[in-house]
Chain A
Amino acid sequence: MSGCTDIRCRLNLYLDNELQGDERVEFEHHLRECQSCRSVAQAEKRFLDTFRSAEPLYIASPELTSRVRSVLHFPDSDTADAAGTSRSLRKHRVIATIAAAALLLLLLPILIWRAREREPRSSASSFALMAADAHLRHIRGQLPLEMMSTEPREVSEWFVNKVDFRVKIPNYQEAPGLEKLYTMEGARLVAYKNDYAAYVAYQMNDHPISLVITSDSVGQTSGGEEIKAKGLVFHYNAIHGLKVLTWSDRGLTYALVSDLEERGQKSCVVCHQDIKEQDFIAPLKPR
């Protein structure tokens, strides 16, 4: 049997899963027999778990993700031109490109006229893009929740001292007789503009809903379709097939992301379930 000194020499190898076969069996046998080494191993494992469980330490911004997507889906000409591309194929490509350019020139006045006819809509704000990206990554399992709770009070308390603003998640389901339309899952922090934003995850009839909150000095709500309701200005965007509503109120900026129908106004129920507040949601429905 290995001595304690030898065992402790190989402790890191064991905890890093680098000991295999007989070595591992022998090591574990010693741990079962030796209380002292077992304590040391447990303490070291707890220490490693502390920072291993802290990942991801960094989160790529939505802007970077977007840049990389462009790189991967639209590689530069060197990459696009595979080594085996024949000269004749290249020649055909050149002809096709010239033809496409000529067609574009012919159609350009019509395209400009049609674009002017449409209501002008600017692109989504970076906050809306970040919220949509966080939502997608969460449902893909790439953005796990840091705390799990169905209690709004617990989630609100969890954010204390973690973000620079006060997060108060309302609990409208406390009222008796109200049907439970949604379930809160938990929360985490997400990086936004060199700071943290609050991320809260919900489920409604198997549809995930994400609520992202930041300070209105950090998150802007410009862009998209503007909808005015109850003294607030909502910005609606369709991003990656998701419905994203952003607005600012009392010092905070919110983004609500879902795949619900129309403008995703049903997702507003996570904060406004009371029937009296349904008129608050009505203006968000498409006319």
Chain B
Amino acid sequence: MPTTAFNEEALTHIDALFGYAMTLTRNRTEAEDLVQETYVRGARAANQLAAESNLKSWLFVVMRNAWLNQLRHQNKGPRFVGLEDEDSFDPASPAEENSNPQVVYIRKIERTQIRTALESLPEAYREVIVLRDIEGLTYQEIATVLDCPAGTVMSRLARAREKLRTLLNGRETKTRFKAV
């Protein structure tokens, strides 16, 4: 992709990248540094990007690799651990019909409470929710970003949504909000 076209289009994804960086790092300063690092790496590799590629999805891949690289240098190891029985998850468990009152309640919940609930999720769950439900990536694109099979994306996403549903149901309405 030509540099000018890359620069113009890449900049339109800065909020999405910052959101994903916050998901990965949970720290504003680290997230901002990670966003900058992603753009530096992206600009260097832009000429390798095919014209028909999904730039946002590609930038997420660049960001995740940059973050994993940082963790390796810090001798920290990836923090995507601790999911209970991911492989044994039965995707046949459907949403219960009697969940309507809960759904009605959830609809009243403000954006900040959703963010707070998202931040309470285990990192791997939060990551897949952000990529699918906030950023709108397909299962295959998420699988590419996370470097895992699409089936894992599907089961992890179903678990993450159930967890988020539980968190949102148990949360009281707050009257004062703070941005992160």
A101 on the interface (CB 8 Å rule)?
no
Interfacial chain B residues near A39, Cβ < 8 Å: 97, 100
Q: Which residue of B lies closest to A193 (CB)?
A: B179
Listed in ascending order, the chain B residues whose CB lies under 8 Å from chain A are: 7, 10-12, 14-19, 22, 28, 32, 35-36, 39-40, 43-44, 91-92, 94-97, 99-100, 103, 106-107, 109-111, 114-115, 118, 129-130, 132-135, 138-139, 154, 157-158, 161, 164-165, 168, 175-180
Contact call B22/A48, Cβ cutoff below 8 A: no
Write out the residue numbers on chain B whose beta carbons fall within 8 Å of the beta carbon of A57.
19, 111, 114-115, 118, 130, 134
Quote the shortest CB–CB distance from A279 to chain B (angstroms).
38
Q: For residue B173, which residue of chain A has the nearest CB?
A: A161
Cβ of B175 and Cβ of A75 under 8 Å apart?
no
A43 with B103: CB separation less than 8 A: yes
Given contacts A12-B157, A55-B19, A63-B32, 11 further A-B contacts (CB under 8 A): A12-B91, A12-B154, A16-B157, A47-B99, A47-B103, A48-B161, A60-B32, A64-B35, A71-B43, A72-B11, A140-B12
Instruction: Report if A194 contacts B (CB, 8 A).
Output: yes
CB-based contact B97/A68 at 8 Å: no
Q: List 12 A-B contacts (CB under 8 A).
A: A8-B94, A12-B157, A12-B158, A17-B138, A43-B103, A55-B19, A55-B135, A65-B11, A73-B7, A78-B44, A189-B179, A191-B179
Cβ-defined contact, A58 with B15, below 8 A: yes
Binary B-proximity of A254-276 (CB < 8 A = 1, otherwise 0): 00000000000000000000000
Q: Contacts A51-B164, A72-B11: A164 and B40 contacting too (C-beta < 8 A)?
A: no
A76 within 8 A of B: yes
In the assembled complex, the Cα of A272 lies from the Cα of B109 at a distance in Å of 36
Q: How far is the CB of B121 from chain A (nearest CB, A)?
A: 11
Contacts of A65 in B (CB 8 A): 11, 14
> Does A110 touch B at the CB level, under 8 Å?
no
Does the CB pair B114–A196 fall under 8 Å?
no
Counting contact residues on chain A (CB < 8 A from B), the size range is 35 or more
State whether B92 touches A9 (Cβ < 8 A): yes
Contacts of A5 in B (CB 8 A): 92, 94
A79 touches B36 (CB 8 A): no
* Contact partners of B133 in chain A: CB under 8 A: 48, 51-52
Are B94 and A194 touching (Cβ within 8 A)? no
CB distance from B97 to the nearest CB of A (A): 5
Contact assessment for B7 and A40 in the assembled complex, using a CB-CB cutoff below 8 Å: no
Cross-interface CB contact of B35 among A68, A73, A162, cutoff 8 Å: A68
Q: Are A51 and B134 closer than 8 Å at their CB atoms?
A: yes
Contact B18 A64 (CB under 8 A): yes
Between B19, B97, B133, the greatest number of chain A beta carbons within 10 A of the residue's beta carbon is seen for: B133
